Amino acid sequence: MTMMDELTLLGQGATKPERKLEAFPNAHPNRRYTVRLETNEFTAVCPMTGQPDFAHLIVEYIPREKIVESKSFKLYIWSLMSFLTIWWRRSTRTGAA
């Protein structure tokens, strides 16, 4: 069994939003180093105007036992965009989800 065997999203051809963060074992848990995940693909709907908002997200952390897999991070962010839009519409009753 390799350290990547637990990953189910990596290497899949078709992608869709997925509210699942996957991680793999840190090969060097005793070393102190920074992992950086970055995306400029985050969009959300502005609660005041209904127009799209864009964001550049940067997540930096020092891993311990596991490291977040970057594709699952991207798919998770994608799912969050859908979730926030539905949540806003329901909480303000500005439209059907």
Which residues carry out catalysis?
46, 53
- The three-state secondary structure class of 86 is helix
Are 39 and 72 in contact, with CB atoms under 8 Å apart? Answer: no
The structure tokens 């991680």 sit at 23
The conformational region for residue 92 under phi > 0 = left, psi -120 to 50 = alpha, else beta, is alpha
Are 68 and 35 in contact, with CB atoms under 8 Å apart? Answer: yes
At 3, list the tokens.
């350290």
Q: Compute the residue count for the chain.
A: 97
